[in-house]
Amino acid sequence: MAKQTIADIPVAAQAVLMRCDFNVPLDDAHQITDDRRIAEAIPSIKSVLDRGGRLILMSHLGRPEAKDLAADAKYSLAPVAVRLQKLLGCPVHFAGDTVGDAARSKVLTLGNGEILLLENVRFNTGEKKGDPEYAGALARMGDIYCNDAFGTCHRTEASMVAVPNAMIGKPKVCGFLVEKEIRFLSEAIAKPARPFVAIVGGAKVSDKINVIQHLLAICDTVLIGGAMAYTFSLATGGRVGRSRVETDKIDFARVLIQQGGGRLLLPRDTHCGDEFKGTCNKRVVPAGQIPEDGGWEGFDIGPETIAKYADVIKSAKTVVWNGPMGVFEMPPFDAGTRGVAEAIVASGALSIIGGGDSAAAIQKFGLADKVTHVSTGGGASLEMLEGKKFAAVELLDDT
Q: Using one digit for the tens of pLDDT, what is the confidence trace for 229-271?
A: 999 999 999 999 999 999 999 999 999 999 998 999 999 999 9
Dist. CA 227–CA 276, nearest whole Å: 13
Strands 269-273 and 318-322 turn out to be: unpaired
Dist. CA 167–CA 161, nearest whole Å: 10
105 with 118: CB under 8 angstroms? no
98 with 116: CB under 8 angstroms? no
Say yes or no to pLDDT of 70 above 80. no
Catalytic residue chosen out of the listed positions 37, 122, 172, 249: 37
Which pLDDT score is estimated for 209? 86
Catalytic residue chosen out of the listed positions 323, 339, 356, 378: 356
Phi, psi of 257 (to 5 degrees): -60, -45
CA 264 vs. chain centroid, Å, equals 24
How many CB atoms are located within 10 Å of the residue 281 CB? 11
End-to-end C-alpha distance for the chain, whole angstroms: 9
In this predicted model, what pLDDT tens digit does every residue of 196-219 receive, in sequence order? 999 999 888 888 888 899 999 999
Dist. CA 289–CA 130, nearest whole Å: 51
Q: Identify the structural domains of the chain with CATH numbers, from first to last.
A: 6-180 (3.40.50.1260), 192-385 (3.40.50.1260)
At residue 70, the 3 state secondary structure works out as helix
Burial category of 12 from C-beta neighbours within 10 Å (exposed 0-12, middle 13-18, buried 19 and up): exposed
Q: Which residues of 34-61 are buried (b: 16+ CB within 10 A; e: fewer)?
A: ebebbebbeebbebbbebebbbbbbbbb
Which pLDDT score is estimated for 166? 97
How many CB atoms are located within 10 Å of the residue 193 CB? 11
356 a catalytic residue: yes
Catalytic residue chosen out of the listed positions 62, 238, 278, 379: 379
Which pLDDT score is estimated for 207? 81
Taking the model in full, what pTM does it have? 0.85
Beta-strand (E) ranges in the chain?
A: 15-20, 54-58, 93-94, 115-117, 144-148, 172-174, 196-200, 221-224, 239-240, 264-265, 269-273, 282-286, 289-290, 297-301, 318-322, 350-353, 373-374
Query: Torsion over CA of 300, 301, 306 and 309, rounded to 10 degrees?
Result: -120
Which pLDDT score is estimated for 388? 82
Which pLDDT score is estimated for 185? 83
At residue 180, the 3 state secondary structure works out as helix
Which pLDDT score is estimated for 156? 93
Report the mean per-residue pLDDT for the chain: 93
The one-letter amino acid code at 213 reads Q
In this predicted model, what pLDDT tens digit does every residue of 224-237 receive, in sequence order? 999 999 999 999 99
199 with 266: CB under 8 angstroms? no
- Eight-state DSSP code of residue 247: G
State the average pLDDT over residues 115-140: 94
37 a catalytic residue: yes
In this predicted model, what pLDDT tens digit does every residue of 149-175 receive, in sequence order? 998 999 999 999 999 999 999 999 999
Reference 6, options 157, 181, 188, 179; nearest CA is 179
The one-letter amino acid code at 354 reads G
State the average pLDDT over residues 315-337: 96
Catalytic residue chosen out of the listed positions 83, 204, 244, 364: 204
183 a catalytic residue: no
Say yes or no to pLDDT of 356 above 90. no
Longest pairwise C-alpha distance within the chain: 71
204 a catalytic residue: yes
Dist. CA 196–CA 222, nearest whole Å: 9
Burial category of 132 from C-beta neighbours within 10 Å (exposed 0-12, middle 13-18, buried 19 and up): middle
Q: Which residues of 368-382 are buried (b: 16+ CB within 10 A; e: fewer)?
A: beebebbbbbbebbb
Say yes or no to pLDDT of 61 above 90. yes
Query: Among the listed ranges 125-134, 173-182, 355-364, which one has the minimum average pLDDT value?
Result: 355-364
At residue 346, the 3 state secondary structure works out as helix
